[in-house]
Structure 1
Amino acid sequence: MAERAAGDAASAASAGSGRSGSGRSGSTPASGKTQERIKEAYAHSSPVVSDDTGESKPSAADRFAAAMAVAKNAASSNPSSAPTPAQAGRKVRKARLRLSHIDPWSVMKTAFLLSIALGIVTVVAVAVIWSVLGAAGVWESIDSAVGDVVGGTGASFAIEDYLGTSRVLGFTMLVAVVDVVLVTVVATLGAFLYNLAAALLGGLEVTLAEDA
């Protein structure tokens, strides 16, 4: 009777582990019906069973514990029982970083190149605008309007003598050169000041998140 109960417990545990490995949840080693069969077999088992030779055999309780341990190991080692990413849901990973130091040399190089590019764009833009205004006849209209207002002086007025293309472009280039120097110096000084502030306060904290 005890051997039969132990056999029922082992078979029920193995059947429960097979069903748990093929299930979706993978959280319980056996179903409710299988657990009832194992408990029933354990209730009818005897503590110790001896054969004809007088040697003691493992009791049904020991076999029951061994069967349950095997079932749990099989359920935990089965990869199909683990939840899939679709079931668990994708979690967005986040990292919190701190900007503690800025290299002044790299800041100076970057600011210098950007300021040069800005100066070139400014000179080209002024030249294009001045050419478009001249082609549209704006300067002739201003000259005639000023001549009508002044009138009778016998002297013709030309605004290009005061705001000619060469003078405007020269002034724009001068402003671009000053802008290059100022932007480079201010950016480098700002990097030094930030490093000092970061040494005292720790710097700026930035939180980065992975795309879902």
Structure 2
Amino acid sequence: MSGTDTQSAPKVGAGSRQARLYLTRLDPWTVMKTAFVLSIGLAIVMVVATFLLWMLLSVTGTFDSINSTISDLGGSGSTGVDVAGVLSFGRIMGFALLLSAFEIVLTSALATVTAAIYNITVGFTGGVEVTLSEEH
């Protein structure tokens, strides 16, 4: 974070200071690293949530209920769809892992591009004003 304007604002109270700074540049490499780490955390949350949801549906017998409903609707001569087979644990977790990997790459790339666009636009927008204060 680099500041171009460090004008001190009037003192708010005894012992407190304020400074107005402008965020004039974001380092794209740092933004990418930060976005990468945060998106890994989000990916872990997504995989764990998928695991817990699949286990909940399996333990409560939801897949068996859906199979039973499909076979009842199809009649006696139809070949039913095995929902538990289609929504198997391996298939669902594989999809969750694939989606998480896609999310990590996409989030990191978009954050980096956003930082670069911000750096380009700072020339005519002046940057983001940040007021820092020190309180005792």
Deviation at 1:154, TM superposition (A): 5.7
Residue type matched to 1:174 in 2? L
Number of residue equivalences = 124
Which residue is equivalent to 2:97?
173
Q: Does 1:114 align with 2:38?
A: yes
Choose 1 or 2 for highest CA Rg. Answer: 1
TM-score normalised according to structure 1 size: 0.54
CA distance in 2, matches of 1:156, 1:122: 31
Superposed CA deviations along residues 130-171 of structure 1, whole A, max 9, x for unmatched, are 011100111111111111111211645421121211111111
Per-residue deviation, 1:185 = 0.7
1:139 to 58, 63, 68: 63
The letter for the 1-side match of 2:62 is: V
Q: Tell me, in whole angstroms, the C-alpha distance in 1 between the residues paired with 2:108 and 2:94.
A: 22
Q: Name the aligned partner's letter for residue 92 of structure 2.
A: V
Residues 41-52 of structure 1 aligned to structure 2 (within 5 Å): none
* Greater helix share, structure number: 1
Partner of 1:129: 53
Structure 1 distance, partners of 2:79, 2:114, is 54
Counterpart in 1 of 2:76?
Answer: 152
Structure 2 residues not aligned, in runs of 5+: 1-12
Distance 1:95 1:137 in 2: 60
Give the TM-score normalised by structure 2: 0.82
* Structure 2 CA distance for aligned equivalents of residues 177 and 157 of structure 1: 30
Which residue is equivalent to 1:187?
A: 111
Gaps of 5+ in 1: 1-88
Rounded to whole Å, the distance in 2 between the matches of 1:153 and 1:161 is 20
Paired residue for 1:211?
135
The one-letter code sitting in structure 1 at the alignment partner of 2:114 is G
